[in-house]
Amino acid sequence: MAITRGAKKAHRASQRKRVFNVRRKNALTDATKAVKKAIAAGDAKGAEKLLSGAFQAIDKAAKRGVIKGNNADRKKARLAAAIARAAK
């Protein structure tokens, strides 16, 4: 547990930031799951419509530091490739 006054303040700040990070991570997960579910159902057109929302969630998470940039690029590339495979 934090002892000094500065450490207590830093702990409070990290708790506030955690709320936003968890929310951003959940948005990222929900968006990618929606795309994957559409792909699994064989709905390539629907998955393409959901793809822009997933890209937006991924980019926002990367911008805020919830995930790293290369991780975001990899997620986007894999989603796009999965849709391309499903469209064939």
User: With pLDDT > 90 as the criterion, what percentage of the chain qualifies?
Assistant: 91
User: Given this model, what pLDDT does residue 75 score?
Assistant: 97
Whether residue 68 contacts residue 62, with contact meaning beta carbons closer than 8 Å, is answered with: yes
Per-residue pLDDT, averaged over 1-7, amounts to 89
Whether residue 34 contacts residue 54, with contact meaning beta carbons closer than 8 Å, is answered with: yes
Determine the residue type at 54. Answer: A
User: Given this model, what pLDDT does residue 73 score?
Assistant: 97
Question: What's the distance, CA 43 to chain centroid?
Answer: 22
pLDDT in tens, 50-88: 999 999 999 999 999 999 999 999 999 999 999 999 988
Which of the following CATH numbers is that of domain 21-87: 1.20.58.110, 2.40.160.40, 3.20.20.120, 1.10.3720.10?
A: 1.20.58.110
Rounded to an integer, what distance in angstroms lies between the CA atom of residue 83 and that of residue 72?
A: 17
* Average per-residue pLDDT for the chain: 95
What is the domain partition of the chain in residue ranges?
21-87
